[in-house]
């Protein structure tokens, strides 16, 4: 392989790594649900079998930003927390468990084992 080809391959790999890092940082900073603000606690609703608890919070972003609602899933046995609901421009916190693993939050059905709702991903 000639020196020119080695340099081109090295540049291509370097550019791909750089684009990958930028893409990951963009996702982490703007779309990751792990970095959502805490908010003010509103209520909590237990699943029918008491394995899960949904805690709802309202997040006020200030005078120029509309309020948002965050739903946090707590798996009671493991005591793990995970954000599963994030909606903007609303104050509603209508939570209803449809079965032991499915919850309806403001009309959005979520299987708590494998789904989430994030208004930014519509």
The pLDDT tens digits of the residues spanning 19-32 come to: 999 988 887 777 77
Retrieve residue 32's tokens. Answer: 């990751």
Per-residue pLDDT, 64: 80
Looking at the fold, whether 76 and 92 belong to one and the same domain comes out as yes
Helices first, then strands: H and E counts in the chain: 1, 8
Question: Does 68 have pLDDT greater than 80?
Answer: yes
Looking at the fold, whether 107 and 78 belong to one and the same domain comes out as yes
Looking at the fold, whether 22 and 79 belong to one and the same domain comes out as no
> How many angstroms from the chain centroid is the CA of residue 89?
16
Within 1-122, where are the H helices? 3-30
Assessment of whether the complete model's pTM goes beyond 0.85: no
- Residue 16 CB coordination number (10 Å): 10
Looking at the fold, whether 108 and 62 belong to one and the same domain comes out as yes
More confident residue, 79 or 43: 43
Question: Does 118 have pLDDT greater than 80?
Answer: yes
Q: What angle do CA 41, 34, 94 make, to 5 degrees?
A: 40
């Amino acid at each position: 392989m000639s020196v020119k080809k080695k340099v081109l391959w090295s540049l291509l790999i370097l550019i791909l790594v750089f684009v990958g890092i930028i893409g990951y940082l963009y996702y982490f900073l703007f779309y990751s649900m792990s970095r959502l603000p805490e908010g003010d606690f509103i209520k909590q609703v237990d699943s029918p079998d008491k394995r899960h608890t949904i805690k709802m919070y309202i997040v006020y972003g200030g005078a120029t930003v509309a309020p948002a609602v965050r739903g946090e899933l707590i798996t009671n046995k493991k005591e793990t927390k995970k954000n599963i609901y994030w909606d903007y421009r609303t104050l509603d916190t209508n939570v209803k468990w449809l079965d032991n693993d499915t919850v309806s939050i403001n009309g959005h059905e979520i299987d708590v084992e494998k789904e989430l709702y994030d208004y930014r991903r519509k």
